[in-house]
Amino acid sequence: MGAGAAPPPRARAERGTRAVNALEIRGLNKSFGGLRVTSDVELLVAPGERRLIIGPNGAGKTTLFNLITGELRPDAGSIALFGHDITRLAARRRAHLGLARTYQIITLFPNETLLRNVTLALLGLSPLRWNPIVRLDRQRALADRAAEALRRVGLAHLASRPVAQTSYGERRRAEIAMALGQAPRVLLLDEPFAGLSVEERRDVAALIAAIPRDVTIVMIEHDMDVALEFAERITVLHFGEAIVEGTRAEVVEHPRTREIYLGAA
């Protein structure tokens, strides 16, 4: 299916109705020179769903995220967010439509406090971001929402701590706070458990589980234990292709999954 396929009619995604998919990707293709990194990928994520994307290293998972957020332009295919075709939409506009992501490598603002980091995230959607006159510190509404986002991830007590003085686990949670603070409709989590200790994984897993259903979550992860608990549906990528998809049970049992991860059965 090429780019330009008519998107489904735009409808409000109300809780309970599944008139429109939260994320609808059809026929997505991307190559770098001769290397095909994304190959005819189709991904339909229902509102409120918890989708897990797995696959060996180099399968193109993060590339897929980069295509969704607009950092990369696809060669062919379409991406729709709640029925709104965003294939050609500039990356920065997608945030305004309710798309948020975290990064595999922590990308906090290194010279700021955690509170300021989350505030900056919130500011991205606010017209205030063009204002050169008022004091950022005095924007109470913004600061309160930022503090709330930190509270949700259990970092309220570290709000005024500079990033340099936080631990890796705290930074991972701050990443999530930045994404959650924007009140996204679709949240992309790129390996949120990477590098965390066992306890930290439990904490992050709990906080992800506590995210309400009005946020649709798509997660990339390698750690099977934690990720499988989270997943309702799983898509397996291999060499840029979505080769297996289904419910958790289906995918785990699927012979091709075992083949990819464990060698030939």
Partner 1 sequence: MTRILALLIAFAALVSLPFWLGNAYYINIASQVLIYAVLAMGLNLLVGYAGLVTLGHAGLFGVACYAAATLINAGFGSITAMIGGLAATLAVTAVFAVLALRGTGLGFVMITVALGQIVWGIAYRWISLTNGDNGVSINTRPHPFGLALDTAPAFYWATLVVFLVTLGCIAVFVASPFGAAVRGTRDQPRRMTALGYNVWLTRFLAFLLSGFWSGVAGLLYLYYNQFVSPETVALSASAEALLMVIAGGTATLFGPIFGAALVVIIKDVASAYITRWNFMLGAIFVLIVVFMPEGFVPGSVRLWRWALAPRRPRAPVLSGERVP
Using CB under 8 A as the criterion, which residues of the chain lie in contact with partner 1 when the complex forms? 69, 71, 91-96, 100-101, 103, 107-111, 116, 119-121, 123-126, 128-137, 139, 164-167, 170, 178, 182
Q: Which is nearer to partner 1, 71 or 225 (CB)?
A: 71
CB of 166 to partner 1, least distance (A): 7
CB of 26 to partner 1, least distance (A): 23
Closest CA to 30 of 56, 55, 65, 57: 65
Length of the chain: 265
CB of 256 to partner 1, least distance (A): 33
CB of 121 to partner 1, least distance (A): 5
Q: Which residues pair with 45 in a beta bridge?
A: 23
Q: Which is nearer to partner 1, 106 or 211 (CB)?
A: 106
CB of 85 to partner 1, least distance (A): 19
Q: Which is nearer to partner 1, 11 or 141 (CB)?
A: 141
Report whether 25 contacts 38 (CB < 8 A).
no
Report whether 120 contacts 95 (CB < 8 A).
no
Q: How far is CA 137 from the centre of its chain?
A: 29
Q: Which is nearer to partner 1, 15 or 135 (CB)?
A: 135
| Token pair in block for residue 142 | 């913004």
Q: Which is nearer to partner 1, 121 or 231 (CB)?
A: 121
CB of 258 to partner 1, least distance (A): 35
From start to end of the chain, where are the E strands? 23-32, 35-45, 50-54, 76-81, 84-85, 99-101, 186-190, 216-220, 233-238, 241-247
Instruction: Give Cα separations from 174 to 107, 149, 194, 239 (angstroms).
Output: 10, 9, 14, 31
Q: Which is nearer to partner 1, 121 or 260 (CB)?
A: 121
